[in-house]
Amino acid sequence: MTLQILMNGLVAGSMIGLGAIGVTLTYSILRFPNFAHGELIAWGAYLALTVSALIGGAVGASMDPIGPFSFGWGLIIAFVLAMGLTGALALALDWLLFKRLRNQGAVMIIIVMASFGASMALRSALEFIYTAQPAYFTRELQIAMPLGGGVRATPDQLFAIGLTAALVFGIHLLLTRTPQGRAMRAVSENPSLASLVGVDVDQVIRLVWIMGAALACAAGVISGILVQIRPYMGFDLLLPLFAATILGGIGSVPGAIIGGLIVGIGEALAVQLVGAEWRAGAAFVILTAILIVRPTGIFGRA
């Protein structure tokens, strides 16, 4: 029973962790908590849904499920394209809103307010275009397979965990082994010093948005495969995302993932102990507890 809670937490935590990487990167490099990040998750899922419908219309066979999974190649292709589109959306948002505020030298709280406004506008735009009715990538029913030790998981859930692991590994390599990654870490450390030594801060900012948005899209697609697609899906994840970001320590990518997993497991435990209706409360309790005990998070520095 306990192992199953761990498994459920791991699946939910993958989505939270993927979203939290984007939050932690924007937080440490652009220096504000982005309340619109949840909307990138929802937009990513809807963009993937739209592209996959377009592909499905063009090539019928692409919708047939691959192996044990509930989705076909069409969704995989749509997912990759949607990652790019979500990145473009984030860049457009930065160009229209955040960049202007940065150039004006607006204080952080005004930028947070603006992200709050952008979040409202982006979410309601989804509701306007796609209505509040939930949508699904596939309606295929999956049977959970026994994995030993009394743990059961569906192939899709295992796919979600595997995809998260692969993406996190890729991001880790990018941040530690490439010049772009080093530039990002330099800007997060000290932006003015980084620009003095020749780091192109604007390029770093664009990279942050693209990476954060692509991972948000991944979180949205996973959540869409495992649960459903709704305009509010990202907004409902916002508190867990912030909890994971602060728990892991702002700016730390491994921290965001570990924070996400802990919050996911905390939620799964809350579902077992006090009931599913209080699930969202778990993120709040974890968040408040970290802020009191260790505001810098697990991997954070003071």
Number of chain residues interacting with another protein (CB under 8 A): 45
Q: Which of 4, 284, 294, 298 binds another protein (CB under 8 A)?
A: 284
> Per rule CB under 8 A, is residue 239 in the interface with another protein?
yes
> Per rule CB under 8 A, is residue 32 in the interface with another protein?
yes
> Per rule CB under 8 A, is residue 43 in the interface with another protein?
no
Question: 194-200 — which CB contacts under 8 Å span 24+ positions?
Answer: none
Beta-carbon neighbour count of residue 291 at 10 Å? 13
Beta-carbon neighbour count of residue 193 at 10 Å? 11
Task: Quote the CA–CA distance of 191 and 32 in Å, as a whole number.
Answer: 14
> Per rule CB under 8 A, is residue 101 in the interface with another protein?
yes
Give the nearer residue to another protein in terms of CB position, either 114 or 262.
Answer: 114
Q: For residue 100, how many C-alpha atoms fall within 13 Å in the half-sphere facing its CB? A: 7
Region binding another protein by CB under 8 A among candidate stretches 58-66, 115-123, 205-213, 216-224: 115-123
> Per rule CB under 8 A, is residue 177 in the interface with another protein?
no
Residue type, 107: V
Q: Which of 88, 120, 144, 298 binds another protein (CB under 8 A)?
A: 120
> Per rule CB under 8 A, is residue 114 in the interface with another protein?
yes
Give the nearer residue to another protein in terms of CB position, either 3 or 110.
Answer: 110
> Per rule CB under 8 A, is residue 296 in the interface with another protein?
no
Is 246 in contact with 290 (CB distance < 8 Å)?
A: yes
Task: Quote the CA–CA distance of 6 and 1 in Å, as a whole number.
Answer: 9
Task: Quote the CA–CA distance of 213 and 86 in Å, as a whole number.
Answer: 6
Question: 155-161 — which CB contacts under 8 Å span 24+ positions?
Answer: 155/67, 155/68, 155/69, 155/70, 156/69, 156/70, 156/71, 156/225, 156/226, 157/7, 157/11, 157/226, 159/69, 159/225, 160/11, 160/14, 160/15, 160/222, 160/225, 160/226, 161/10, 161/11, 161/14
> Per rule CB under 8 A, is residue 119 in the interface with another protein?
yes
CB of 27 vs another protein, minimal distance in Å: 8
> Per rule CB under 8 A, is residue 110 in the interface with another protein?
yes
Q: Distance from CA of residue 51 to its chain's centroid?
A: 19
CA torsion sign, 256 to 257 to 262 to 265? Answer: positive
Region binding another protein by CB under 8 A among candidate stretches 14-22, 212-220, 251-259, 290-298: 290-298
> Per rule CB under 8 A, is residue 273 in the interface with another protein?
no
CB of 46 vs another protein, minimal distance in Å: 14
> Per rule CB under 8 A, is residue 135 in the interface with another protein?
no
> Per rule CB under 8 A, is residue 95 in the interface with another protein?
no
> Per rule CB under 8 A, is residue 24 in the interface with another protein?
no
Interface residues toward another protein, by CB under 8 A: 32-33, 35, 97, 100-101, 104, 106, 108-110, 112-114, 116-125, 127-128, 131-132, 235, 238-239, 242-243, 246, 277-278, 280-281, 283-284, 287-288, 291-292, 295
